[in-house]
Amino acid sequence: MNILVCITHVPDTTSKIQFTDNNTKFDSTGVQFIIGPYDDYALARAVELRDQTGGKLTVLNVGLAESDPTLRKALAIGADEAIRVNSEPKDSFFVAKQIAHYAKEGGYDLILMGRESIDFNGGMVHGMVGELLGMPSFSPVMKLDIEGSTVKMAREIEGGKEMLEASLPLIAGCQEPIAEWKIPNMRGIMSARTKPLNVVEPVSDETQAVATQYQLPPAKGAVKLVDKDHVEELVKLLKNEAKVL
């Protein structure tokens, strides 16, 4: 079985979010970039499935050369080869078009990615790719097992989950606890250096919804502390001052 995992190259979850150039650009000064945490779950499950069924595992990122270390890390975790579509990820539609093109070329049985990127939180690329390729898409998927030609999944819904069955090929946007994150070992890191990382050019330049200006939320005022022996004070504040009761 051939699996494609699409990963994002995003600021670490503990990064301080700041903007530069008159709030038109993310300020990456001092920021560490990682594989998107949801993509990391997708990758971990894909490595397990590849080990179980055989075949090839490809990782893909739409990004500039700065994404290469992130792709190398995915190779160290267990992917067999990497593709980087050499462009900034301009918007979700742009990214979906690139993935759909290269996914079609590769003829994958299963396409996994995170439920959403942790920078723009759109959560739409998997569905767009699904529709572009005429494949079913599911998200957020928290369990995915393959039994013969049947894929059994659990999809999280508000306050619970639903169990699903579908056939390959399909696309899933993944989240925990689909698998445990995998930490690359020394052998993985060594072998990642020689695995292929192919840089390809974008196939379309179309965009639909591009972020042009950024803004931080207003700073939070200092916390008001209430004495633990006078909790009724807190109730009054919530009722009369915050007006949330």
| Sites for another protein among residues 214-233 (CB under 8 A) | 214-217, 220-221, 223-228, 231-232
Min dist. Cβ of residue 100 to another protein (A): 9
Eight-state DSSP code of residue 6: E
Interface residue with another protein among 22, 149, 194, 212 (CB under 8 A) is 212
Pick the closer one to another protein by CB: 70 or 175. 175
Other C-beta atoms closer than 10 Å to the C-beta of 174 total: 29
- Spatial contact of 141 and 155, defined as CB atoms under 8 Å apart: yes
Other C-beta atoms closer than 10 Å to the C-beta of 31 total: 16
x/- string (CB under 8 A) for another protein, residues 1-40? ----------x-xx--x-x-----------------xx--
Contacts to another protein from residues 70-129, by CB under 8 A: 92-93, 96, 116, 118-128
Structure-token pair, residue 127: 């569905």
Backbone angles phi, psi at 101, to 5 degrees: -65, -50
Residues 26 and 64: their CA atoms lie apart, in Å, by 15
Identify any residues that bridge with 85 across adjacent strands, giving them in sequence order: 62, 200
Min dist. Cβ of residue 118 to another protein (A): 6
Contacts to another protein from residues 152-211, by CB under 8 A: 155-167, 170, 173, 175-177, 207-211
Min dist. Cβ of residue 80 to another protein (A): 26
The answer for 219, left when phi > 0, alpha when psi is -120 to 50, beta otherwise, is beta
Pick the closer one to another protein by CB: 18 or 86. 18
Residue span binding another protein (CB under 8 A) among the ranges 75-83, 134-142, 183-191, 197-205:
134-142
- Spatial contact of 105 and 133, defined as CB atoms under 8 Å apart: no
